[in-house]
Structures are given as C-alpha cells and as structure tokens.
A = this chain, B = another copy of it.
Amino acid sequence: MKRTAPKTQSITVSDVARVANVSKATAARVLGGYGVVSDTIRANVMAAAKALDYRPNELARSMTTGRSGIIGVVVGDIENPFFSLAVRGISDAARAAGFNVILANSGERIEAERAAVRLLIGKRVDGLIVTPSESRDISHLRDIHRSGRPLALLDRALPDLDVDTVTVDDRDIAMRATRILVDAGHSKIAYVTAVDAEGNEYRDLGQIYTSSVRERIDGFLKVCRDAGIDRPERHICLGATSPDETRKLADKLLSGPDRPTAILASDSLIALEIFKVMRQRGLRIPQDISLITFHDADWTSVTTPPITVVDQPVYALGKSVAELLIRRLKGEARPTERLILPTTIIERGSVGPPAAYKL
C-alpha cells in the first residue's frame, strides 16, 4: 500500500508519458527538447504536459547531465556598490549566454568563502567566479580546479593560481592617485584600507594577503618615496573593515597632532565614513584636508565639494570575467588569460594644496 507522500507529489515525465500514451523516453525527449520526435507525438505530449501542469525537475536534470546551467559567484560584500555593479555585469553576461547565477557572500572572511565554495561545488554549479579574500590559503580554490570546474578570478589576482583573471592595474592606479596628492604639495598622506591585521599596524607588504590591497600600497609607497617623503608607511591605516571600525580609525587619524593633510581611501564605503568624520570635526575639504577615493560611487559626485575618484570599469570587470568563464564552459580550450582593464581618475573638487601652504 502506498503511503501518502510527505512532500507534495510533483508531476514527472512518467505522468506525462502515461497521459500522452507514449513511452517515458519519448515524453522526456519532447519535454527536454532533445532527440527527435514526430510532430503529432510532440503535440500530444505538450498537450498532456500542459494539462498536468508539468514542471521539469532541474535537480534530476542536472544530476544526469552533469550540467546545471549555473555560475556560482562568491564576492566579498554584496552591499559594497563596487560588487553589486560587478555582479550586474556578471549577470548580464550570464543571461545573454543562457546561464543563471547563484550569489554567495563571503563578508571577506576566508572561512565563509571556503563554505560558499563548498556549497556551490556541492550544488554542482558549472563554473565559479570568486573575489578571493586572501592569497594565503587558497586550497579551496585549487579544489575547484581539481573538481574539473572552471574558475575565474575577479578584481584580485592570485599569482600562484593559473586561472582566467580580470583585474585593474592597482599598483599603477594607486601611483597615479598618490601622485595627484604629491603634486598638490602633500607630504603627509594617509592610505586607509580594509585589511584586517593584528593591531592594524602596517609593517611590510608581506603582511598583506589581498593582492589588490598589496599592489595599491606598493604603488602608494613608491610614489611617496620617490617624492622624498620620509617613512610614508607610518601613514598606512589598516583595519577599516566596517563602518564602525572605519569611523574609529578616522577619528584617531584626524585628531592627532601629526594629522595627515591628505587621505587616499581604498573604497567608497571607507571614504564615506572618513568624509563624515571630517565634516563632524569641522575639517573643510580641500582647504583643510584633501581626499581621493577608489570607486566612483554615486555619492562622490553630490557632496560639496565633489570627490576626486579612481574610476574603475566595474561593470566591465564583471562582464569580462563572466565572458571568459562562459567561453571555457562552452569548451573553449586556450591558455589562461589575465585581463587588466584600464582605469581613469576623475578629478573633482576634493584635492587642494596642504593647509600649511596657505598659512
């Protein structure tokens, strides 16, 4: 005797086949859109499917085909407009190619990233796009590769991992941004970034495990040193990992006697908090202090004054990395590609000569 099924009984290929008076295989062929079926039978089956309100079970389908039509995406923080824009680029490219996207957030925590990757592999996504939160422990990324699924990296390169990668030239762009500040006469320039390090004290590059961050710091220091600035690393602030932390950090940074005359912020979320603290402390931009930030976020153009920004091609970054991945998914075998997209600086009104000069 058949017990009542605990979960809702759904209509299967067999049900449709029975009603249409054909074999399961034939019904499956028209329902699945493969193989060849005569027009009459096709019509019958379609009618039966419609009558029964048949819905394919994608799970079963993926299980037998080994394909899911899904691209897994793991980003650092979906609330960061940088990532949501990149994700739109990815989604648009995916949709255009008939793929769907599953999104997972790592919150920039490596364990969450590992878990997300594990989940997505478990769900048998066809390929993954990851923004690796650090370069120290990338075993889970190697695992992807080993599982036979293509992986592509977004925004952050991993020298040790030979996979398709799309980034910008972070070192170069940091140099250009810093140079703007140096050229304006600044010599006390702070660089504020989100890396979490013990005590938030910067010691050396080897301590930074996120490639983009490391490259930017490298570029920043290079320009400072070339300009004869003494020990510029003193003004590197790590630990701006949340609005709260950033505010604390900014408050400390802007209160000391050794206050910087210019700040370079590594993303728009950080810059926003810094901007707020500056305001709150009555610091005028750019008369009292200058500010440049990475990412041309919405708000940067509506403040008074508007903020000078590093404009990364975020949407294109996402679109390109998805296209690269999709080409591999479609079977294209080619050497690994590492795309570096061009970046510009939008000069607005937040940079001026250091306060001292005007006295």
Interface status of A60 (Cβ within 8 A of chain B): yes
Interface status of A59 (Cβ within 8 A of chain B): yes
The answer to whether B148 touches A58 (Cβ under 8 A) is no
A51-107, CB < 8 A from B = 55-60, 62-63, 66, 68, 78-79, 81, 84-85, 87-88, 91, 100-105
Count this chain's copies in the assembly: 2
Interface status of A161 (Cβ within 8 A of chain B): no
Interface status of A25 (Cβ within 8 A of chain B): no
Question: Quick one: closest B residue to A61, CB to CB?
Answer: B122
For A88, the chain B residues whose CB sits under 8 A away are 78-79, 105
Interface status of A304 (Cβ within 8 A of chain B): yes
Q: How far is the CA of A100 from the CA of B104 in the complex (A)?
A: 9
Q: How far is the CA of A58 from the CA of B119 in the complex (A)?
A: 8
The answer to whether B79 touches A85 (Cβ under 8 A) is yes
The answer to whether A63 touches B60 (Cβ under 8 A) is yes
The answer to whether A302 touches B301 (Cβ under 8 A) is no
Q: Which residues of A contact B (CB under 8 A)?
A: 6-8, 10, 55-60, 62-63, 66, 68, 78-79, 81, 84-85, 87-88, 91, 100-105, 118-119, 121-124, 147-149, 272, 275-276, 279, 298-299, 301-304
What would be 10 A-B contacts, judged by CB atoms less than 8 Å apart? A57-B63, A59-B68, A59-B124, A79-B81, A79-B84, A79-B85, A272-B302, A275-B302, A279-B302, A299-B299
**Sorted from nearest, which 5 A-B pairs have the closest CB atoms?**
A8-B148, A299-B299, A58-B122, A304-B304, A103-B103
